[in-house]
Amino acid sequence: MKPKVIIYNAVSLDGRTSGFTVDMGLFYSLAQEWGENATLAGCDTLLNAPDEIPEDDGSEIAIITPNENDPRPILVVPDSRGRLRSWHYWRKQPYWKDFVSLSTKNTPARHIEYLMSRGIKTVIAGNEHVDYGQALEELNRRFGVAAVRVDSGGTLNGVLLRAGLVDEIHLLVHPLLAGGIDQKTFFRDITPEGTGEIPLKFMRSELYSEKFLLLSYAVAQ
């Protein structure tokens, strides 16, 4: 069974996701509203984290056995090419209770071995690219994931939307215009079938601190 998939992004009034300062406190306090079991974070999002994060040197290896009563979600990262080598850093963060890498049949065998040696669980779905439909069902089957919050940029959002896997979209609109011609948006359409409208159904809107507007839509299937 596919879990519920929720896209949640902070945007400017002109729909940008970069070029302005996000109210991170408000953003993540509202993120708790959806009761996520898993956070799906794009590999590029972690690789481009603002802090300089060294690669894992192998000095810290531990097998994690999550407490079933731990309410924190698991961190899920698609990484078909085996680029993320800093799992030790993300495992130290207090936000997640367990960790899963989404791989494919063509992910380098040495990277799969690296994940296993570091106690990182792996879901293999797809050949060249991650098959997200299959991966989501596997997350539900193996880890009991019922709700996934996508914490990523426009590329992963676009892939999930075009694949028809997204259930809801929530945008925290900041009261400003970011402008520019190179600023990123929350929906970047790079798939071959990336044409045509994706209809949405309005759910609600909420105002916070008399300036931030949370817009919520269901994706019409």
pLDDT tens digits, 137-159:
999 999 999 999 999 989 999 99
How large is the average pLDDT for residues 44-69? 71
Of 212, 216, 218, the closest CA to residue 173 belongs to 212
The whole-chain average pLDDT of the chain stands at: 90
How large is the average pLDDT for residues 40-64? 74
Strand locations in 64-198 (E): 74-78, 98-103, 121-124, 147-150, 168-174
Q: Which pLDDT does position 61 carry in this prediction?
A: 56
Give the total residue count for the chain. Answer: 221
% of the chain beyond a pLDDT of 90: 67
- Report the CATH superfamily, name and number, of domain 38-145: Dihydrofolate Reductase, subunit A (3.40.430.10)
Q: Is the pLDDT of residue 191 over 70?
A: no
Structure tokens at 197: 């409208």
Q: Using alpha carbons only, how large is the chain's radius of gyration in Å? A: 18
- For 28, 46, 126, the CA distances from 116, given in Å and listed in that order, are 31, 20, 19
Q: How confident is the model at residue 89 (pLDDT cuts 50, 70, 90)?
A: confident
Of 204, 203, 198, the closest CA to residue 221 belongs to 198
Residues of the chain with CATH 3.40.430.10: 1-34+153-221, 38-145
pTM for the structure as a whole: 0.90
CATH topology of domain 1-34+153-221: Dihydrofolate Reductase, subunit A (3.40.430)
